[in-house]
Amino acid sequence: MASSPKTSSPKTSASKTSASTTSAPTSSATTSSASSFRQRPWVRWGAPLLLVAGLAVLPLVMTEGANDTLARIGVFAVAVLGLNVVMGYTGQVSLGQIFFLGLGAYVTAYGVQSGWNIVLVFVLTCLIPAVAGLVVALAAARLGGLAIAMVTIALPIVGVPLAKRLSDFTGGSQGLSARFVEAPEGSGLYDDQWQLYLVLVIGGIVFLMTSLLVRGKYGRAFAIVKGNENVASSMGISPYRYKVLAFTIASLIGGVSGFLYMVVVQYTSPETMSFGHSIELLVAMVIGGAGSIVGSLLGGAFYVIVPDVTNAIDPSLTALLQGALLLAVLFVLPGGLVSLPRALMRRLRRSPAGRGSAAPPTTPSSTPGSGTAAEQSETERQGHA
């Protein structure tokens, strides 16, 4: 997030050349063999197949607790993904993502309680937050820069009292319960397995569509808007229009995550969209890796697992432990968890080259930065392909 392509592209080329020229021949050999391995047709077809098959079997063999945790990770991974579209890929600071999650959750809860068809409820859960996001973005994107951040801060801050006041629709501060996801008769599935399948399928489709979006022409346009708005304008890409588009898509994805939230948690209240959670989502995005699809997944996992882990260590010190963990991760991996494999590879590659003893002081500063840069070059490269 911190490094824009403007600054990163020279770095990228530098790191690339250094990787291929300065390091030992063995490492370049591994790189090329690894990439050719990835290019092989059976790998390109088989790996995703294997992944999907694994995900399809997983809910059946895991314990109920693991299923619940995985389902909640899915919910927040989708929310973080939405945030990534507007922040990670388009570079617009949004602090209001939780509002769209909350809005989606409320639309779902209200629709279910009113006995509407669940498909209609889902469509509304996508549409209403998207329209709300569009209206906000039409005004906010015109202001540009930090003004978008300011406007989006207002969303959860307005959202909480609004949810309390509109008690006819929201149930006031007592919230709304909607227990609508029960495994269909005859499927032989437990509720938690069915919930996880719903999250995997809906979340999977959202992830798939988003990754196609950010790798295609819209993704290129987002990247240019993020990099330099003047360049974008000169190329005939309207920064305003693409900012609005990115924000609307982020809101829509936020709405979908709200639907999934109701599938898994089955209850929403004004607390759901409190401002603190918005910041936690932002933290999760940065920790996972800004501008990265896999990073969104990792961010969702971070959002869900860390409170559970700190609870297991000492329930009375959760806030302190979370803060310490956040600092630790950002210090070691400023590029987010997604840069961890790259950082490890780099470290492994350097030590046999005989620079092992000198490496430690330079690694923390150079590795993570170039990690992000490489990540970005990856997207750009794919975009241009």
Partner 1 sequence: MNRHSRSRKALGIAVASALAVTVTGCGNREDAGRSGDAAEGAPSPGITDDSVTLGITTPLSGATAGPGTCTVAGVTAYFGMKNAEGGIEFGDGQTRTVEIEALDDTYDPQQAAANYDQLKDEVFAMTAGLGTPTNRAWRDAAIADEVPQVLIMTGDPLFSDTEESPWQLGFVPIYQNEGEAFGELLASSSGNHRVAILSQNDDFGAGYVEGFKSAIEGADNIEIVDELTYEATDTSVDAQITELANSDADVFFNAMSVTPLVISSLQKAQQLGWTPNWFLPSNTSSPTAILEPGGAAAFPGIYSVSFSKAPQSPAFAQDEDVQTYLAALPQYGNYPDPPAFPHCQWSWMVGATLEQVFMEMEEPTRDSFMEALRGIEGFEAPLMLPDTSVSTTEDGQPAVSTVVVQKYNGRGYDTVESFE
Give the binding site for partner 1 (CB under 8 A): 41, 44-45, 48-49, 51-53, 55-57, 60-65, 68-69, 72, 157, 160-161, 164-165, 167, 172-175, 177, 179, 187-190, 192, 197, 201, 204-205, 208, 212, 261, 265-272, 274, 276-277, 304, 307-308, 310-311, 315-319, 385
Q: Which two tokens stand for residue 335?
A: 């590029």
- Least spacing, CB of residue 175 vs partner 1, in Å: 5
- Specify the residue, 116 or 180, whose C-beta has the smaller distance to partner 1: 180
DSSP-assigned states of every residue in 279-334: HHHHHHHHHH-TT-HHHHHHHHHHHHHHHHHHHHH-GGGHHHHHHHHHHHHHHH-T
Give the C-alpha separation, 275 to 97, whole Å: 10
| Smallest distance, partner 1 to C-beta of residue 197, A | 6
Which one, 161 or 352, has the nearer CB to partner 1? Answer: 161
CA geometry: angle at 99 spanning 69 and 252, to 5°? 80
Q: Return the number of the residue (55 or 330) whose C-beta is nearest partner 1.
A: 55
CB of 152 to partner 1, least distance (A): 18
Which residue, 169 or 190, has its beta carbon nearer to partner 1? 190
Closest approach of Cβ 12 to partner 1, in Å?
21
Which one, 44 or 241, has the nearer CB to partner 1? 44
Q: Can you name the residues that pair with 177 across neighbouring β-strands?
A: 267
Least CB distance from residue 154 to partner 1, whole Å?
Answer: 13
At closest approach, how far in Å is the CB of 56 from partner 1? Answer: 4
Minimum CB distance to partner 1 smaller for 94 or for 310: 310
Closer CB to partner 1, 248 or 310, in the complex = 310
User: Cβ of residue 357: shortest distance to partner 1, in angstroms?
Assistant: 42
**Residue found by looking up tokens 């008690």 in the block:** 167
Q: Could you give the CA distance from residue 349 to residue 8 in angstroms, rounded to a whole number?
A: 22
Smaller CB distance to partner 1: residue 229 or 380? 380
The minimum distance between CB 20 and partner 1, in angstroms, equals 22
Long-range contact list for 218-225, CB < 8 A, 24+ apart? Answer: 218/242, 218/245, 219/89, 219/379, 219/383, 220/380, 220/383, 220/384, 222/85, 222/89, 222/90, 222/246, 223/5, 223/89, 223/376, 223/379, 223/380, 223/383, 225/90, 225/91
Q: CA 278, CA 97: separation in Å to the nearest integer?
A: 6
